[in-house]
Amino acid sequence: MLKSKREFTRFDLPLIVKFRPSDGTARYSLGLSKNFSFNGLGLEARDFNFIKNENLEMEVKFPQSGSSVSLAGDVVWNKQAGSSNMAGVKLIMKDKESHEELMGKISSNWNIPIESIIRKGDTGNEKAVPRGKKIAKPASKNDRAELQTRQTGFIKKYLANGNCKVTFRLPKEAAPDAGEIAIVGDFNEWDQRQAFMIRMKNGDFKATLEIPAGREYRFRYFIDGTRWENDWQADKYVPNDYGCDDSVLLL
């Protein structure tokens, strides 16, 4: 059987995406990109039903830099996978300059050579992003203050005792029906019973932990004792031994 070919290389990019139909009839939803290519992206969401040929306006955030870019695209396929809704979105760019700006941001934020992004003729096999890219640790108090104000899934407050007080926040869109969520990671020896989150009035989950600074920690959210979720705006992501990714916290 012949393998199907895709026009451009696909890269595994877990990016947070805020989106809604371009007609403005619905509020913004949150989703996670499953892959990205020169002409489109795969999108996963839990509180939105995709409709084929629907036009979406999107805002994609880059966790490494905190920057974002606005996009538009058409849904070319959609399906449901368990509690998740999946879609393939073909990008619609206003002009060549906007397209080049987007690809340049992807290239610089994820350390992917730009020539790989625009390369044609690849097979249908998904190609992973170069993993384990080192992100520079803040070297000064000013750098640390800037890091605290980033719109990420957690806020960091460095303490005089060498620890960091980290406030984790998981949006309700990531676990809309959750009853109990624990933060599990290297900082608590992956104990699923130590760090439980509190549900806020808006439906988000929140918890604050004091963690020794000066290193990086893998972690994930454990939901209702049955499934795992990553932080949608972690400092970076690294593959684990179970065929998926762990979120990474850099302190």
For residues 79 and 109, state if they share a domain.
Answer: yes
In a domain, 93, yes or no: yes
In a domain, 98, yes or no: yes
Pairing of strands 198-199, 227-229: unpaired
| Domain of residue 165, residue span | 141-250
> Which of 128, 161, 189 delimits the end of a domain?
128
For residues 106 and 24, state if they share a domain.
Answer: yes
Whole-angstrom distance, CA of residue 220 vs CA of residue 250: 14
Q: How would you write the pLDDT of the chain (251 residues) with one tens digit per residue?
A: 333 455 678 887 777 788 889 887 777 788 888 788 888 899 988 778 899 999 999 888 765 555 677 889 999 999 987 778 899 999 987 777 777 877 887 777 777 787 777 766 544 443 444 433 333 333 344 444 433 333 446 789 999 999 999 999 888 777 777 899 999 999 999 999 889 999 988 888 999 999 999 999 999 999 999 888 888 778 888 888 877 788 899 99
pLDDT for position 29: 83
Cβ neighbours of residue 134 under 8 Å, at least 6 residues apart? none
Q: pTM value?
A: 0.49
Pairing of strands 29-37, 40-45: antiparallel
Closest CA to 143 of 135, 134, 153, 133: 135
pLDDT for position 6: 57
47, 80 contact by CB (below 8 A): no
How many structural domains comprise the chain?
2
In a domain, 61, yes or no: yes
User: What CATH number has the domain bearing residue 49?
Assistant: 2.40.10.220
List, in sequence order, every beta strand (DSSP E) within 129-235.
Answer: 154-158, 163-170, 181-185, 198-199, 205-212, 216-223, 227-229
Residues in a beta bridge with 122: 6
DSSP state of 94: S
For residues 163 and 193, state if they share a domain.
Answer: yes
H-helix or E-strand spanning residue 21: strand 16-21
pLDDT for position 73: 92
